[in-house]
Amino acid sequence: MSVTGEPSFRQSVDLMFNRAASMMDLPPGLEEKIRVCNATYTVRFGVRLRGEIRTFTGYRSVHSEHFEPAKGGIRYAPNVNQDEVEALAALMTYKCALVEAPFGGSKGGLCIDPRQYEEHELEQITRRFAYELIKRDMINPAQNVPAPDMGTGEKEMAIIADQYARMNTTDINGKACVTGKPPHAGGIRGRVEATGRGVQYALQEFFRHPEDVAAAGLGGSLDGKRIIVQGLGNVGYHAAKFLSEEDGAKIVGIIERDGALLDPEGLDVEAVKNHIARTGGVDMFPGPRYIKDGVKALEEECDILIPAALEGVINLQNAANIKAPLIIEAANGPVTAGADEILRKKGTVIIPDLYANAGGVTVSYFEWVKNLSHIRFGRMQRRQEESRHQLIVNELERLSADTGIGWQLTPNFKEKYLRGADELELVRSGLDDTMRSAYQSMREVWHSRNDVTDLRTAGFMVSIGRVAASYRAKGL
Ligand code: NAD
């Protein structure tokens, strides 16, 4: 317990786990087996930079191996520590189980502020970190497969894949050692935006259930809903972009490291993103109200709050002041266990992290399968699908002409119908399907049991049940 009376991130995840497990009928001892983290490896290594040797500390934690490989991102941030990496690895276990991605849970981190280094320096550091993990099989297509997280992206993943290839020259499945690679380096289309896209699909699915929307005291659709998003990085940017451009939602607040922008008329997400890229922050963005104490903006009026930056931002200090009736946890662990209790009592509906940000690992799963099958999704079927559709269109047009009915297929319909699905469309379809069915499995528990009053507990129960079944099948 810290001085703020708040448990650590890992303890917070464990408390949420315990709450769900206590409502289940698990065999003695299995609960603990599932909860504990199997192993955490700490590595310290030196890299010669700017004329001196700098020592870095990194972690790779494996929470569960009921399925292998274990899966989970690598984070670059100055305050990465063992507790955080273990909490994130545990969340990966529950996340993968919930979206039925056949992986154990893992996570990695490096204590570094990537903004302090040049691109070529980051490459050197990433290569060395990857080397340390690869030589211990902590990066391996069959055992442990990283992905991007905070502070890392396609570039780092491509370097890791290349480092693995250098060290394992005859491994034909080597590309599957890491996901989130750029498409030209063995990645899959749609992975960069997958987590944000998943947040969008999660909200779309939530709004398909009027009963659930009403539980949050809201009504109608996503159209016109006022959203505040914290963190305009990979996840937050894509979620905000898709929700505003495609679903008619209004981004009325954007919170970044250096403050927050607020505009009841809605912010231009793209323009704010470009401003951050140019200046490093949101300050001086022309137009909307700017407040220096960005965290305060979490307490502003809105319909949906999307914390998409880091953990612990909604805590015992501010939970009671949060006005949003619906929170979707795009980040991992943004709501502490104590805050969760306060919000639950207030009637705030929380779409929990283990579900809300699972879009990333879902598309990572597709990428891993693509790498192992050595073929792009849709490559075999696309033209065959198109020619079968062409047959139907030809037949309809022939019938129309022969019978003199004079039907005309609209050119727009024809174009859309005739086009066979490419990789991106298949990825989106698979992601949408996954987000819908995972939500339905959570809500079934939420609505069918009187003692389950929130989606988080329901989500944990689904996941724990699946992990338990898999351990039992192994004879544990
Ligand atoms: P990112 O590094 O791309 O973006 C993080 C953003 O948050 C940056 O814009 C940064 O400036 C901002 N930020 C940092 N500290 C902040 C603060 N104190 N207040 C406000 N803004 C702050 O990271 P990301 O990949 O978008 O990850 C964000 C969250 O989503 C993390 O919790 C991560 O674990 C989770 N997540 C990411 C993925 C993924 O695929 N990248 C998948 C699942 C979950």
pLDDT tens per residue, the chain (476 residues)?
555 789 999 999 999 999 999 999 999 899 999 999 999 999 999 999 999 999 999 999 999 999 999 999 999 999 999 999 999 999 999 999 999 999 999 999 999 999 999 999 999 999 999 999 999 999 999 999 999 999 999 999 999 999 999 999 999 999 999 999 999 999 999 999 999 999 999 999 999 999 999 999 999 999 999 999 999 999 999 999 999 999 999 999 999 999 999 999 999 999 999 999 999 999 999 999 999 999 999 999 999 999 999 999 999 999 999 999 999 999 999 999 999 999 999 999 999 999 999 999 999 999 999 999 999 999 999 999 999 999 999 999 999 999 988 888 898 999 999 999 999 999 999 999 999 999 999 999 999 999 999 999 999 999 999 999 999 998 87
Return the best residue to mutate from 234, 290, 293, 364 for the ligand 1 pocket (most ligand atoms within 8 A of CB).
234
Contact at 8 Å (CB) between 63 and 86? yes
Q: Which residue in the list 107, 175, 181, 241 is annotated as catalytic?
A: 107
Residue nearest to atom 38 of ligand 1 (CA): 149
User: β-pairing, 326-328 with 304-307?
Assistant: parallel
Centre of ligand 1 from the C-alpha of residue 338, in Å:
22
Stated as kind and residue range, the H or E segment containing 236 is helix 234-247
Which ligand 1 atom is at minimum distance from the Cα of 358? 43
Go through the domains of the chain in sequence order and give each one's CATH number: 37-186 (3.40.50.10860), 194-359 (3.40.50.720)
Residue nearest to atom 29 of ligand 1 (CA): 331
The number of angstroms, rounded, from the C-alpha of 380 to the middle of its chain's C-alpha atoms is: 29
List residues bridging with 55 in a β-sheet: 46
Burial of 5 (0-12, 13-18, 19+ CB in 10 A): exposed
Centre of ligand 1 from the C-alpha of residue 408, in Å:
49
71 a catalytic residue: no
User: β-pairing, 104-111 with 326-328?
Assistant: unpaired
Residue nearest to atom 41 of ligand 1 (CA): 149
Segments of 19-163 assigned E as strands: 39-49, 52-62, 70-71, 74-77, 104-111, 144-145
Query: CA 169, CA 62: separation in Å to the nearest integer?
Result: 26
Centre of ligand 1 from the C-alpha of residue 330, in Å:
9
Stated as kind and residue range, the H or E segment containing 262 is strand 259-262
Q: Which two tokens stand for residue 150?
A: 């905070």
Task: Report phi then psi at 364, rounded to 5.
Answer: -60, -40
CB count within 10 Å of CB 219 equals: 9
pTM of the model: 0.96
DSSP classification of residue 357: T
Burial of 222 (0-12, 13-18, 19+ CB in 10 A): buried
Residue nearest to atom 32 of ligand 1 (CA): 331
Which ligand 1 atom is at minimum distance from the Cα of 147? 40
Which ligand 1 atom is at minimum distance from the Cα of 151? 2
Q: Which two tokens stand for residue 336?
A: 């502490």
Query: CA 149, CA 89: separation in Å to the nearest integer?
Result: 12
3-state secondary structure of 422: coil
Ligand 1 site residues (CB inside 6 A) read 148-151, 195, 230-236, 255-257, 294, 308-310, 330-332, 357, 360
Stated as kind and residue range, the H or E segment containing 229 is strand 226-230
Residue nearest to atom 37 of ligand 1 (CA): 149
DSSP classification of residue 335: B
